[in-house]
Amino acid sequence: MNTYHKGLVLIVSMTGILSFTGCGKTQENGSQAAANTTVGTEIDDSIITAKVKSKLLADQDIKGFDLKVETHKGDVQLSGFVDSQVQIDHAMMITRSVEGVKNVDNRVSLKNNGGTTMGVKVDDSIVTSKVKSSLLADPDIKSFDIAVITNNGEVQLSGFVDNQAQIDRAADVVRKTEGVQNVINELRIKK
């Protein structure tokens, strides 16, 4: 197959994929969603997320922290745990400097470092895994859009979901997960 035909096949394939993206997506009441997220918006959001993560990782004061970055229509949500308010402010400043960021929603919490040991860190990793598994197993939650971070048994949920019912259900599932001491629910409804 020559280069012309390969290019034509690629264009036809991409057109077909793009034309079907979003087909059949309806709201719970059955009506077509008014503010559907387009493929272009999804790509833009992915690029913004990548740029923010890259800038945060490049910064000496921030790179060692487990910060989650979620983007929806240019609105960036930062979540996770850091040691000081100065680090939160610095992460916010870095995020705001990224091209395409419309708004920054700060959901970063200060760590409760009282007595954090290697055993606690391992336990937190296990709790995070259990929470993620519980969320994935629940058919009412779109858990791929939910970030989970655990610090001393305190689980922080962040990201964007479709409705309040998903926020409530996620919090309920997490509270029932073994090892969870507290839930910080920072989930937001997609606009």
All structural domains of the chain: 38-111 (3.30.1340.30), 113-191 (3.30.1340.30)
Closest CA to 66 of 81, 50, 49: 81
* pLDDT for 84: 83
β-bridge partners, 68? 79
* pLDDT for 4: 46
* pLDDT for 26: 37
* pLDDT for 75: 93
> How far apart, in whole angstroms, are the C-alpha atoms of residue 111 and residue 91?
15
* pLDDT for 115: 52
* pLDDT for 92: 92
8 A C-beta contact, residue 97 and residue 55 = yes
Q: Which residues of the chain have pLDDT under 50?
A: 4-34
8 A C-beta contact, residue 67 and residue 56 = yes
